[in-house]
Chain A
Amino acid sequence: MPRYELCVILKAMQRPETAAVLRRTVETLLERGAVVRSLESLGERRLPYKISKHDSRHTHGGYFSVDFHASPKIVSELLDHLERDIDVLRPTLLKKDPELSQTHCCGAQAEEAKSAASR
C-alpha cells in the first residue's frame, strides 16, 4: 500500500476541541481501512497569509501531520470529507516517495562526469 502524508491546518481552537477534530479525522481514516503510522503536531503558528474558509478569515492555525498507509481509492473521498469539515482550513494529501539515495549527490555526479569524459 502506498504511503501518504496528510498535512492539515486546523482553526485556532482550544485544546479539547482540537483533540476532537484530530480524533474524528483519524477515525475517518481508520474507517476507510488506512493504517495510521504517526500523528505529529507542527505547532500553532500565525498563518503566512490570511485564509478565508467556511465564511471566515483566519490568521492563526494549528499545523498537524498524519503519516499513513492507505489504498489509493480512498484519496478523493478523504479530501472531500476534509473540505467539508468546518474546523479544517487547508487539508493537503501528499504521496510519500521512497527517499533517494544521497550518494548520488554533487560530488559523485562530478566524478562520474569526469570518468565518462576520460573514457
Chain B
Amino acid sequence: MLVMKYCTNISSVSAQCIRSLTSQQEPLKKGDMPIKMENPYKTPPKTCILCNITVDFKNVQLLSQFISPHTGRIYGRHITGLCGRKQKEVSKAIKKARSMGFMSVTLKDPQFIKDPDICGIKHFE
C-alpha cells in the first residue's frame, strides 16, 4: 500500500516538473539578451619597465641601474626582468657608453649608488 502511494506521488511531481519545463520554452523577451561588452576583468598587457622609454648611451644614470655596484658588470635578463629587445638595447648602450668615455667599466658611479633598486638583486652582505 505504502509503496503504491509513493509511486503515485513521484509520478505527480515529475509531471509537474515536465509541465514547468515546457512552459519555459516561450520566446525570450528582447530586453533579456546579454549586453555585448569588452571583458571587464581583462588583465592589462604585460610590459617590461622600460616599455616606451628610449634608451640612450648619454643617459648614464638609467644605464647604471642595470649594472652591479661592486663590479660594474651588466645584469642578466633573469635579474633585470626586461624583455629581449630592451635588454639588448641596454646592453649595447652600456658598452657604447663605456668605450666612448661616458661610463666606467669596473664600477658604478658613486653618485648613482643611492638610486632606487629596479633589479631587486640581493647582494651578499
Contacts and interface: CB of A to CB of B under 8 A. Distances in A.
A90 interface: yes
Contact of A47 (B52, B83, B86, B101): B101
A106 B100 contact: no
B103 interface: yes
Contacts, number: 54
Interface centre among A48, A105, A107, A109 (most CB of B within 10 A): A48
Interface string B28-61: 0000000000000000011110011010001000
Interface of A is mostly: strand
User: Among the interface residues A42, A106, A107, which one has the most CB atoms of the partner chain B within 10 A?
Assistant: A106
B47 A49 contact: no
Interface of B: 45-48, 51-52, 54, 58, 83, 85-86, 96, 98-105, 109
Give 7 closest A-B pairs by Cβ, nearest first: A107-B45, A48-B104, A106-B47, A90-B101, A92-B100, A106-B51, A105-B51
